Structure 1
């Protein structure tokens, strides 16, 4: 992993483009207003710092980059990179500040700020923009989407469930691993989801939580069927396939999920689960989770809850909503988005059912159907220091798109009226700056634990 090559082509010529008296450049990352959400859950920087930025540049890296970049048709700052190896042992002379991971901040709040610590490397903070911005926007966006869904589900549970403390963490399950572009994306997105929930089938998310945040076990799953294991029995033996799931994985306090739409979901629920296997389900001592996996996602799962209720019965909780027999529940894992989750929960409650009767599995909508513009992430230079030590604010303010205006001067973040707010560092006064140094000159200064991040995110809700 050669960090010299972890950038955009045009960055290689930027070392010669700054004013000659430049001694330092400061830049910051924010989610600009105008995106899909008005708050962002900041998460993921620590993975990049541990995996990439702590790696030292070697002279072999310099040689390899020189050969590739020169052949690519661009100037190569060999003198600068050799100086980094010889003076700093290959470590990046940079200071990175950030909000504590798990913080939920209004869009427009600086999340990360970077500057060089050696005046000969004024070109370095913006050189790593590509890698640093990518390291922040993706996990923060997934974490924000997941947290947004948590708020939707929480609202429904507060309205319709007596005690949802143990229910909420498992209402949204990550089904996104196979839709991710790579193992690394699945790991980064998978662990971002786990900030707000504890249900996942993305194993790499568990690995990343353990590797980068010291969490021994961040999420859980249950035995579950897929279409291949059900259709392998043939349609005529569908009931045997379902019965085998109960026999193999059922038991006192256990849960087992069975996809039930291989042929005819409504027949499977009414005839197989409702008649042939009803006694097995009721006697197994655990919970069968029926998974409808096709049809209109706004209709079919609600119908499934209705059918299971008419077969297995229900109780009525203190808030007046129906709760299925503990032997059965439903999980919807097809066509799931934040919008469909809201619609499904509303329709359930309109029919008198508590939101606790259903869970959701979200795949592409969680890990893949996001991009940098979902939350309008950007990294922009905000200050320049000259050789006399004076800092000057710099910014962009395009008249053709005022929404892209950036913040001048080095930034601080304060708590104001119970929320985060940005102020120029020069105007901070005696107020506390919530931006904390997390990395300096090759050293990790903060090592956030996953439990801390989860607690912070829960408080920020």
Structure 2
């Protein structure tokens, strides 16, 4: 036990101990259920929120990271020491049972809608069931860890909706829809609360886009979703690489960027507002114009201050005056040799406002790329889509009983009851949550509906290992 107590100072081992990846009060819950309880069933849903549909993503990351490694005796000792000192009881016998009977793997069954599915809110997305009477409470104990799936789902959902917004403007103003996956670039790594958030949220964004500067997000998508390279970036200047030359040598700093990275077919991004954006735009359009053209690459100007809507339009007009443009098949202007990336003040509202203003001014959506930081990975929370995980059924002895909460003070928090599943209509794609066993009647004829949930994890084994390519295909299957 002395070793276990000393282990409480080993933060790395604590963070990797699944028994401690929970809320403190969960440790006491095994003493609070009816004594005849023998199995439990819980589920996860979005109870509504900013968007009426969610893109399901991220469960595979959580399962691979936290549930595919066995509980060990050392973990139990460490958890026992922690909870004893922390003021909570500890079910040592239950955790020892898991090690002795299951080799340390948790005897729970997790079913979920396939990742990449776009499901209306108020539907079951994940179910968790444990039918071992000695550790039935695991179906609720895992809530703290599993409900964190709200984060990748919410990031993926927001990016999916933004892809729809950008796509609509490309359809209206552009001849080239192939650029869509690169129109919203992830700038969020420095604005999140942790490296893990950068990895999880950054990966979620890549369901809908393929541009990112969040290295950990790209690496997570590659690792957890079997992708050789999930996203791409380009050489780009930051203010330090420009201002280090001094104000009087800003033109030399710009010229160096073109000399170093401006090659045929290449893209180079240069922040240009370090001192005077409009003076910089004049330099780009006069003194450096021929160097940009001769490079054979595309210069992307980044204005990084001022009102985004005003600055984008002013930048586009200045570049059009100096580099010229062509009119495409939709009657909109596409700049020659240059583009703009807006990375300041970018959020769902400003993206739509900028695209609308550009269209009204006669500029194609081809001319702009957005870089989104805090609003992409950090300015969301569990209530953005009102995620919850609730127990909906418990087996007392040999009989299952429905469980639900129904507070008179907030009907929006009413939970669903029963052992739940999700059905999808074979032809229309409509979703419908129902209870098990499914009763096929005139409203849910078996020929028309099928179960949408699949078993992804059972007693330590990951049963579905989906690729990012498959998730992307499912998420964007409805695009023409």
TM-score normalised to the size of structure 2? 0.93
CA shift at 1:432, angstroms? 1.4
* Aligned position for 2:9: none
CA shift at 1:89, angstroms? 1.1
Residue from 256, 268, 282 that aligns with 2:268: 256
Q: 1:338-349, aligned counterparts within 5 Å?
A: 338-349=348-359
1:216 aligned onto 2:225: no
CA shift digits 1:235-274 (9 cap, x unpaired): 111111000000000011000000000000011102x101
* Aligned position for 1:156: 169
* Aligned position for 1:385: 395
Residue from 412, 422, 427 that aligns with 1:413: 422
* Aligned position for 1:455: 473
* Aligned position for 2:160: 147
Q: Is the 8 A contact 2:272 2:303 kept in 1?
A: yes
* Aligned position for 2:412: 403
- Residue 456 of structure 2 aligns to a residue in which SS? strand
Deviates more, 1:77-86 or 1:222-231: 77-86
- Residue 393 of structure 2 aligns to a residue in which SS? strand
- The answer for unaligned runs of 5 or more in structure 2 is 1-15, 441-445
User: 4+ runs of 1 displaced by more than 4 Å?
Assistant: none
Distance in 2 (CA, whole Å) between partners of 1:451 and 1:418 is 21
Residue from 418, 431, 437 that aligns with 1:426: 437
Residue from 70, 89, 92 that aligns with 1:75: 89
1:204 aligned onto 2:204: no
CA shift at 1:418, angstroms? 2.8
Distance in 2 (CA, whole Å) between partners of 1:152 and 1:399 is 38
Distance in 2 (CA, whole Å) between partners of 1:428 and 1:350 is 54
* Structure 2 CA distance for partners of 1:277 and 1:60, relative to 1, 3 Å: same
Distance in 2 (CA, whole Å) between partners of 1:154 and 1:398 is 42
1:180 aligned onto 2:192: yes
* Aligned position for 1:3: 18
CA shift at 1:281, angstroms? 1.0
Q: Is the 8 A contact 1:103 1:460 kept in 2?
A: no
Q: 1:39-438, aligned counterparts within 5 Å?
A: 39-134=53-148, 136-164=149-177, 166-270=178-282, 272-325=283-336, 327-388=337-398, 390-416=399-425, 417-429=428-440, 430=446, 431-438=449-456
Distance in 2 (CA, whole Å) between partners of 1:88 and 1:112 is 23
CA shift at 1:386, angstroms? 2.4
Distance in 2 (CA, whole Å) between partners of 1:30 and 1:358 is 36
Distance in 2 (CA, whole Å) between partners of 1:258 and 1:444 is 45
Q: Is the 8 A contact 2:40 2:131 kept in 1?
A: no
Q: Is the 8 A contact 2:38 2:131 kept in 1?
A: no
CA shift at 1:72, angstroms? 0.9
- The answer for unaligned runs of 5 or more in structure 1 is none
CA shift at 1:84, angstroms? 1.0
* Structure 2 CA distance for partners of 1:114 and 1:147, relative to 1, 3 Å: same
Residue from 443, 464, 474 that aligns with 1:446: 464
* Aligned position for 2:6: none
The two structures, once aligned, show a CA RMSD in angstroms of 1.0
- Residue 167 of structure 1 aligns to a residue in which SS? helix
Q: How many residues align?
A: 455
TM-score normalised to the size of structure 1? 0.97
- Residue 232 of structure 2 aligns to a residue in which SS? coil
Q: Is the 8 A contact 1:412 1:428 kept in 2?
A: no
Distance in 2 (CA, whole Å) between partners of 1:155 and 1:139 is 24
